[in-house]
Structure 1
Amino acid sequence: MENQSKVWYVTGASDGLGLNLVKQLLAAGYRVAATAESKAELEDAVRDNSSNFLALEVNLSREDTVIASLQTAADTFGNIDVVVNNAAQKPAGRFEEFSDKQARANFEINVFGMMNVIRNAMSHFRPQQSGHIFNISSAAASSGKYSGLSIHCATRFAVAGLSESLAAEAKPFGIHVTVVLPDQFRSSLAKEEATTTAEPAVAGNTASAMISIAQNEEPPLYLFLSKASFLAATERLESIKKDMCLWPHT
């Protein structure tokens, strides 16, 4: 199969990394099914009228819309080869400031919405004995040390844990799973945050790396694409190792 014949399904595609990825894929000749809460906003952002682009309006918390969108993508392009779970929210604030409702709402998008996509994408991947799932995370999946981001870190750790187990389950079916830990980039997820200082090229570099990884027969489970996420993971491993040595199992 030629790489450009692969069909990509990308969530959260109306801005940020998702939008950049969709544009790069289309420019390279891939077929792309992209989702957003508003189809009109997505089409306006992508601005591609070719038959290679399919815009889909999806509410990730409603599994019926996820199922319908995946089936529409498969019916339109013949199959689905790569799924990118990019849609996410990033709440900031001390843990005790969040109500149960607010915390659950964030898990609804960052975790359960992603699960809805994966669960139903697997039904397309298993019969064809191939597929690749990219779960977009952040440095918050490397370490929970970020003050004021407890809920976000909890969702990111959940994504990483699910991905590790899913990778083991999916491997016998020829399906790959990769957790992507990028640097910060501008999007509606963080455009109001003073800490978002990354250059626009960061999203472009992340998208390019994912496209390259998807062509590899043995892609990584963890894809570290920023110094911050790499250092956070290293520090966390050292901290765990220190505690294991100081408080050995007896």
Structure 2
Amino acid sequence: MTRTWFITGASRGLGRAFTEAALAAGDQVVGVARDVAPLDGLVAASAGRLVAFPLDVADRAAVFAGMQRASAAFGRLDVVVNNAGGVLLGMVEEVTEQQARAHLDTNFFGALWVSQAVVPQLREQGCGHVLQVSSMGSAGGFAATGLYSAGKAALDAMSEALAMEVERFGIKVTILQPGGYETDLFTSGLTQTAEIADYAPLREWLAGLWSESEDFDPALAAEVVLQVANMAEPPKRLILGGAAYDMVEQLTRTRTAELAKWESLSKQAD
């Protein structure tokens, strides 16, 4: 059966790769982004299987109206990918109120609005799959990416609750936690804070650390996501990337060891 995908942030990066993979598999796609002009060529070549229109997921009313438009395009929605997002880079002390609110409006609230808008339709259908694009960074806070990790951690928690709430309606929810991919997330998708000089040594250390990391082809992630979308019983949480998997596994082991270290003190509290 030909499926219909709804993908946010579809014009670039992972969203673009997911869109291309779904089309290559013979499916139909409704792709949205703040700027959908980069999708013009793909729309023209899709023989009507790709519909694209601008949408700011931070605008709740616009999301609900956009979901109705998306549903009307092909008559139904089967796979919903909450991919839209950006990075806020800077120390916690440096982040302004406006930056924090704007960042979370897209990275967390945008996914919340899309989820709220699509669940009634999927519930009526008795099926559907919501893929929440989180990040390996949601596994724990890290210097200079605290707000980014916070937004993704909130998305994880909300999505776990959503999965429990909608599973009896035949709706699946998968949290995707990608590692580093070759996208423009850290260029056009980046917001930076005004730097406080006292953090210069830490920034220098971070720059050296990040220069050693490797980014991968988004098409590799898209191939895996296509497999997930084809599963009758998909994973509830999936790390995308071997390097990301190893890092999250190490962080989990470290956290478990820290938990055990203070077990006796914790149990004194009740």
TM-superposed CA distance for 1:123, in Å, is 1.1
Superposition RMSD on alpha carbons, in Å?
Answer: 1.9
What is the aligned partner in structure 2 of residue 92 from structure 1?
89
Distance 2:17 2:162 in 1: 27
> Which residue type is aligned with residue 104 of structure 1?
R
1:156 aligns to 2:156 (yes or no): no
Instruction: Tell which deviates more after alignment, 38-47 or 84-93.
Output: 38-47
TM-superposed CA distance for 1:218, in Å, is 0.8
Distance 2:59 2:48 in 1: 27
What is the aligned partner in structure 1 of residue 197 from structure 2?
none
Distance 2:258 2:180 in 1: 30
TM-superposed CA distance for 1:186, in Å, is 2.4
Determine what percentage of the aligned residue pairs are the same residue: 30
What is the aligned partner in structure 2 of residue 189 from structure 1?
185
What is the aligned partner in structure 1 of residue 257 from structure 2?
242
Distance 1:141 1:89 in 2: 14
Distance 1:245 1:219 in 2: 31
Which of 34, 39, 48 pairs up with 2:31? 34
Pair 1:162–1:62, CA change in 2 (3 A): same
1:171 aligns to 2:167 (yes or no): yes
Which of 136, 140, 143 pairs up with 1:139? 136
> Which residue type is aligned with residue 93 of structure 2?
E
When normalised by structure 2's length, the TM-score is 0.84
Pair 1:209–1:242, CA change in 2 (3 A): same
Q: Which structure has the larger Rg? A: 2
TM-superposed CA distance for 1:97, in Å, is 0.6
Distance 2:46 2:214 in 1: 33
Distance 1:217 1:67 in 2: 28
CA contact (8 A) 1:22 1:46 kept: no
Instruction: Tell which deviates more after alignment, 47-56 or 115-124.
Output: 47-56
Distance 1:139 1:173 in 2: 29
TM-superposed CA distance for 1:61, in Å, is 1.2
TM-superposed CA distance for 1:45, in Å, is 5.8
Distance 2:230 2:38 in 1: 30
Task: Give CA deviations for 1:185-213 in whole Å, capped at 9, x if unaligned.
Answer: 222312478747424x2x10111111111
CA contact (8 A) 2:43 2:51 kept: no
Distance 1:197 1:33 in 2: 31
1:213 aligns to 2:228 (yes or no): yes
TM-superposed CA distance for 1:38, in Å, is 2.0
Distance 1:163 1:237 in 2: 20
TM-superposed CA distance for 1:25, in Å, is 1.2
CA contact (8 A) 1:139 1:228 kept: no
Runs (5+) with no aligned partner, structure 2: 191-206
Distance 2:170 2:240 in 1: 25
Task: Give CA deviations for 1:137-195 in whole Å, capped at 9, x if unaligned.
Answer: 21101222x21111111011111111111111111111111111122122231247874
TM-superposed CA distance for 1:70, in Å, is 1.4
Distance 1:232 1:40 in 2: 36
Count of matched residue positions in the alignment of Structure 1 and Structure 2: 244
What is the aligned partner in structure 1 of residue 17 from structure 2?
20
Which of 212, 217, 227 pairs up with 2:242? 227
TM-superposed CA distance for 1:229, in Å, is 2.8
Task: Give CA deviations for 1:49-81 in whole Å, capped at 9, x if unaligned.
Answer: 422111121011112221122111211211101
Task: Give CA deviations for 1:4-62 in whole Å, capped at 9, x if unaligned.
Answer: x1110000011111111111211221010000112333324654342211112101111
TM-superposed CA distance for 1:230, in Å, is 1.8
Instruction: Tell which deviates more after alignment, 49-58 or 12-21.
Output: 49-58
